[in-house]
Amino acid sequence: MAGERVEFFYDLSSPWTYLAFTNLAGVLERTGAQARLQPILVGGVFNAVNQSVYAAREATDNRKLKHSWHVLKDWAALAGVEMNFPSQWHPAKSVNAMRMAAALADDQVALMKFTKAAFESYFGRQENLDDPDVLVAVANSAGLDGEGMRATSQTDGVKALLRANTEKVIERGGYGSPTIFVDTTRMYFGNDQLPLVEFALKEKA
């Protein structure tokens, strides 16, 4: 991880993570920092330390949740991304997607491409994030070997890596996606805290 001051723990099923992933690029450009993407299963994080998320989803009179959908649209417009959310697939199962992402962990350039394409598929075109055939097509559209990724994603090594990343972010204090670390110890959460990420990077530049 030499030179990678930012760790970005994420799950593709989160619209706020899509925004943070998009907006992080500007932070990195302005600071000259590098980031490492760390795929996780956010459901595993919720089950371990943040089960209140499920209750909030089920509360039909949750004003904060309803308002967040309007804010989400504004953030998407500001970031210049297409946000057609929620879709019929929400809340999405993301196990297949995150295993395919984890299969690219050693090739961060390829992982960046797949992540961007998968976000566009789910939040832009409202495709099924958990459909292996959709994921293969998404990978191919990004110039990657979709079938090869599908095969690798089912190996014990990749499954173990995804579990390990999920356990790691929990152990380090994370409670959702995206969880962002600067210089290992400074933790931030979500798209809204990216200004603090930039502040932390510049403070120690």
How much is the pLDDT for 1? 42
Domains of the chain: 4-203 (3.40.30.10)
Q: What is the arithmetic mean of pLDDT over 23-40?
A: 97
d(C-alpha 45, C-alpha 169), whole Å: 8
* pLDDT at 68 (0 to 100): 86
pLDDT (average), residues 18-25: 98
**pLDDT, position 62:** 74
pLDDT (tens digit, 9 = 90+) per residue, 54-112?
Answer: 555 665 677 888 888 889 999 999 999 999 998 888 888 899 999 999 999 999 999 99
| Helix segments in the chain, DSSP class H | 15-31, 42-49, 52-58, 63-79, 95-102, 108-119, 132-141, 146-153, 156-171, 194-203
pLDDT at 64: 82
Given a cut of 80, whether residue 156 has pLDDT beyond it is yes
pLDDT over 70, % of the chain = 93
Distance in angstroms (rounded) separating the CA atoms of residues 160 and 56:
30
- Distance from C-alpha of 15 to C-alpha of 150, rounded to nearest angstrom: 24
* Position 185 confidence tier, pLDDT thresholds 50, 70, 90: very high
Read off the pLDDT band of 141 (50, 70, 90): very high
At residue 77, the pLDDT reads 97
Which of residues 64 and 51 earns the better pLDDT score? Answer: 64
pLDDT of residue 2: 43
Task: Name the percent of the chain lying above pLDDT 90.
Answer: 82
Residue 50: which residues within 8 A CB-CB, separation 6 or more?
175, 176
Per-residue pLDDT, averaged over 124-149, amounts to 97
Closest C-alpha among 108, 94, 100, 79 to residue 6 = 108
Q: Is the pLDDT of residue 164 over 80?
A: yes
Starting from the edge strand earliest in sequence, which strands make up the sheet with 186-189, in order? 34-39, 4-10, 179-182, 186-189
Model pLDDT, residue 104: 98
Mean pLDDT of 27-49: 95
Average pLDDT in the chain: 93
The predicted pLDDT at position 99 comes to 98
Mean pLDDT of 157-167: 98
